[in-house]
Amino acid sequence: MNRLGFTRTELVVIISSACILAAVALLFVNAPRRHRSHLTCALNLRMLATAARTFANDHDGLFAWMLSTNEGGSHEFAAAGGQVFRHFQVQATYLSTPLLLACPQDTRQAAASWAAMANTNVSYFVGLDSDPKRPLSILAGDRNITRASGIVLQCNPSAPPQWVSGIGLHGDKGHVVFTDCHVEELDSAGLSNALQRAGMSTNRFAVP
């Protein structure tokens, strides 16, 4: 039987995405060309966070990486970083396009479809310890927090990661999005401060 109209979840995603896109479009008009890729990256991360929160609203307050694959999540892929893309792939219904997973500054290219996705199509790490109940926990960010790829990086406030400029993206700075959906561009000192503000003893970042 064909379904007409939108579900509530689909409508929320569409409205949220439209509002964010409209706001960023206004910024693009006035922004110098060199800043536009930064704005696009920040927009990508904000939309990823919005999708993650909408997913959680539909799944008893749990992010995809907190929920078993048997229930539509990606928890079984959280132990190792080999398939970080799975955490985003299971949220395809909540994300408008795989293009959101590729930073315009990255040499990596977005996947042509969700089915064709791999780690090499993803520019952003996933904060596996992010929690909908902790608004300042780090949900995702630029992947250049380490030279390694396909790993789970374990960090704490006393041993924070450092941005790696040699990978590209945004040089010795990077963007992170927090669970409350706000995005910050940080240097390494700012990233360390963000970990302290999160108030968590351990932060695991799945780096694609």
Check pLDDT > 80 for residue 189: yes
Instruction: Classify residue 46 by burial, with Cβ atoms within 10 Å: 0-12, 13-18, 19+.
Output: buried
pLDDT of residue 52: 98
- In Å, how far are 16, 73, 78 from 68, measured between CA atoms? 26, 5, 10
Question: Structure tokens of 40?
Answer: 């696009």
Q: Are 169 and 125 in contact (CB under 8 A)?
A: no
Q: Is residue 1 part of a domain?
A: no
Alpha carbon distance 57, 32 (integer Å): 37
In a domain, 136, yes or no: yes
Say if 3 falls within a structural domain: no
- In this prediction, residue 194 carries a pLDDT of 96
Those residues whose C-beta lies under 8 Å from the C-beta of residue 21, and which sit 6 or more positions away, are 43
Binned at pLDDT 50, 70 and 90, residue 1 comes out as: very low
Instruction: Specify the range with the lowest mean pLDDT, choosing from 13-27, 36-50, 132-146.
Output: 13-27
Q: Has residue 48 been placed in a domain?
A: yes
DSSP state of 159: B
pLDDT for residue 160 is more than 70: yes
Q: Is 2 a member of any domain?
A: no
Q: Is residue 23 assigned to a domain?
A: yes
| Region of poorest pLDDT, from 131-140, 151-160, 180-189 | 151-160
pLDDT at residue 168, rounded to an integer: 72
For the chain, what is the domain count?
1
- Domain containing 139 equals 8-207
